[in-house]
Amino acid sequence: MLSAENLADLVSSYNPKSNRSQLIAAYHYGQRMHDGQFRKSGEPYFSHPVAVAEILAKQKLDDATIITALLHDTIEDTPASKAEVAELFSPQVADLVDGVTKLTNVQLSSVETKEAENARKLFMAIAKDVRVILVKLADRLHNMRTIGSMRPEKQMQKARETMDLYAPLAGRMGMQSMREDLEDLAFQVLNPEARDSIRVRFENLRAASGDVVERITGDMRLELDKAEIAAHVYGRQKKPYSIWRKMQEKDLPFSRLSDIYGFRILCDSESDCYRILGVIHQRWRAVPGRFKDYISQPKTNGYRSIHTTVSGRDGKRVEVQIRTFQMHEVAEAGVAAHWSYRDGVRSKNPFTVDPVKWITKLVNEVDDDDDEAFLEAVKLEMFADQVFCFTPKGDVIKLPKGACPIDFAYAIHTRIGNSCVGVKVDGMRVPIWTTLRNGQSVEIITAEGQHPVSHWLDLVETGKAKTAIRRALREMDRGRHVTLGRELLRSAFDHYDKKMTDKLIETAAKKLRLESGEELLARLGSAEQSARETVRILFPDIQDDKNTHVDHQRAVIGLNTGQSFTRRPCCEPLPGERIVGILTAGSGVCVHAINCDSLERFEEKPDLWIDLHWHDGKHAAIYPVTLQMTISNDAGVLGRVCTVVGEAGANISDLKFVDRKPDFYKIDISVDLSDVEHLVSVLSRLEAEPEVATVQRLRRTDTT
């Protein structure tokens, strides 16, 4: 374990102006607080905070961060208090220690807590002071290095948590070296056989072909010396987890992997980077499609470098990364480089990016009450590679790998995304589900009145797009449900010869303990609440025999003796809807819904109109209604739709394909229903299906 004096010497080596006495005082205070505590391995517990402080000191961080590392477990595990730490050291240190303590208490993989809710807490803590997560990552790194003393089930839990959250978080913050260490340590626990197998294959390869890394490094140095370019060249074999992940992604055995070695060339200036690229490509053949310029288009975490893959010695493919020394510092240390010190002053690296900006942006873009959407957005942000596309004006839009034009539209503005109807990529009209590639120019076509549809959620990749689509769909569904609910409730009031008023609606909402009358109407429209039950709540003395079955031949009241009725196909009225009759030649009566457009033809013929209403009681499911649907063109989707209709107690009497596309079908289906509430139930079930893009009741104009 590093002594207090040795730790102070380490910090002084890069920051001569550090407060040596305070560092030593914090060391001894932490040692005293943890006295008598031991780790699972039997070591004194204080060896852990010292190791965490040493990790951060090697990253040349400020005094407050180092002291926080020494004290990061004191508030939680010892008699020390935040007030005492603030008094002895500083309020800033106390806040940092308290922040790390809160992160420690956020058990992200615990079954007792909500992962999504805790992820939000984690990122809110980071947004207050990014040094909190630097200490937490160093804490996790040392715990993973010493994980062998834990119980096997605890090792698996911590390793999975590290792989799923902490390693990608380190990567998103640009701390690539720490990310690789965390991934490899977690990989050793999660899949030790695979890791050992890759290490053995590396050893066999080295025994068979010698030190390939040293030979290729020598060749590169020779070419750069010829071009009189001063640069530092070094190579390495890639980490076992990196190799294993590539084997899984490409479904290739180890023997067929081409770029298992990586080489870095560091130089003084950006112009030298491009000169070096020219030297490498002149000497070795570049592999098509394996060139990335992150200098002209940096990653969102501040990463800058040129990547190219070439066929090296003996035809072996090798990856070459070219960057300046300043770029390399950010590539390895990420945001830690923003806080590092040299010669007593904070380092001014121009390439560092403050992660608080993207964290704050992420928090602001996702609904406050939607923790699941927040977690989804976090994972998308951390795991996704970036692609860069251009607006027609030349502005660069950064998107995750796999993004489509809808993502692009929402990245510009939510209004653009909501009204997107088409897209042109590089001047050509393409489907909106097209996967975008680096360097493409994208033009979004919009139209007034356009709204998002549910299947867009399956197309988009970005958290911002998913959140905006969900919000728009909720608003659209609510508006539709409120309108339908009002009509259902009015019909129920009419059924009992009662007059519906806004005051009665509000009264019913209060009795049902709902926030507002609008909430009640929305529940009625989505079939969560019965309209007639709502009326009976207001008028409990109403008698209603639900078990009375209605003879379908006498379902309509208001006809004269001997008159028969026919439901018109233009509006296909259902029991529960307001209806009117139109006399026809002979003794027949055509029944229309009161809002049917076809009734306009009879406005000048009042003598043909007959006041009708449906008979009270339970109607048989014999009244066909046509629904128009757009569904995914995938195996089993149509069968699933038919199953959903059947589960709702309805029968499909006819089905017709209206339009066939490679990805979607538009169909008209005739469904036999009993009343308007039955219709609402069927529509709600169909709308809930992810493969159903749109579904609506089809209304026509009667031309007969």
Sheet holding 651-660, edge to edge: 651-660, 664-673, 623-632, 692-697
Report the amino acid identity of residue 348: K
Rounded distance between C-alpha atoms, residue 642 and residue 686, angstroms: 10
Show Cβ contacts of residue 264 under 8 Å, excluding neighbours closer than 6 positions: 233, 234, 235, 320, 321, 322, 323, 328
Angle of CA points 295, 162, 34, to nearest 5°: 115
CA 407 to chain centre: 12
Phi-psi category of residue 210: left, alpha or beta, with phi > 0 → left and psi -120 to 50 → alpha: left
Least Cα distance to 132 among 157, 150, 105 occurs for: 105
Query: What stretch of H or E contains 65?
Result: helix 63-71
Among all chains, which residue has been given the structure tokens 């060339």? 265
Tell me the two tokens of residue 115: 């992962």
Least Cα distance to 11 among 59, 74, 72 occurs for: 59
Query: What stretch of H or E contains 359?
Result: helix 355-365
Phi-psi category of residue 36: left, alpha or beta, with phi > 0 → left and psi -120 to 50 → alpha: left
Long-range contacts from 395-402, C-beta under 8 angstroms, 24+ separation: 396/297, 397/442, 398/300, 399/436, 399/461, 399/462, 400/461, 400/462, 401/461, 402/435, 402/461
Least Cα distance to 682 among 630, 642, 632 occurs for: 642
Phi-psi category of residue 233: left, alpha or beta, with phi > 0 → left and psi -120 to 50 → alpha: beta
Q: How far apart are the two ends of the chain, measured CA to CA in Å?
A: 94
Long-range contacts from 447-454, C-beta under 8 angstroms, 24+ separation: 447/419, 447/421, 448/419, 450/418, 450/419, 450/420, 450/421, 451/418, 451/476, 452/417, 452/418, 452/476, 453/630, 453/693, 453/694, 454/687, 454/690, 454/692, 454/693
- Give the chain's largest Cα–Cα span: 110
Least Cα distance to 673 among 550, 565, 575 occurs for: 575
Among all chains, which residue has been given the structure tokens 């207050």? 128
DSSP string, 400-418: ETT--HHHHHHHH-HHHHH
Phi, psi of 653 (to 5 degrees): -100, -15
Least Cα distance to 593 among 681, 491, 447 occurs for: 491
Rounded distance between C-alpha atoms, residue 539 and residue 376, angstroms: 47
Rounded distance between C-alpha atoms, residue 680 and residue 673, angstroms: 10
Instruction: Give me the active site residues, please.
Output: 76-77
Please state, in angstroms and as integers, the Cα–Cα distance from residue 253 to each residue in 194, 197, 314, 589, following that order: 12, 12, 20, 76
Phi, psi of 417 (to 5 degrees): -65, -45
Rounded distance between C-alpha atoms, residue 388 and residue 76, angstroms: 45
CA 108 to chain centre: 17
Show Cβ contacts of residue 603 under 8 Å, excluding neighbours closer than 6 positions: none
Among all chains, which residue has been given the structure tokens 């030593």? 24
How many residues are present in the chain?
A: 704
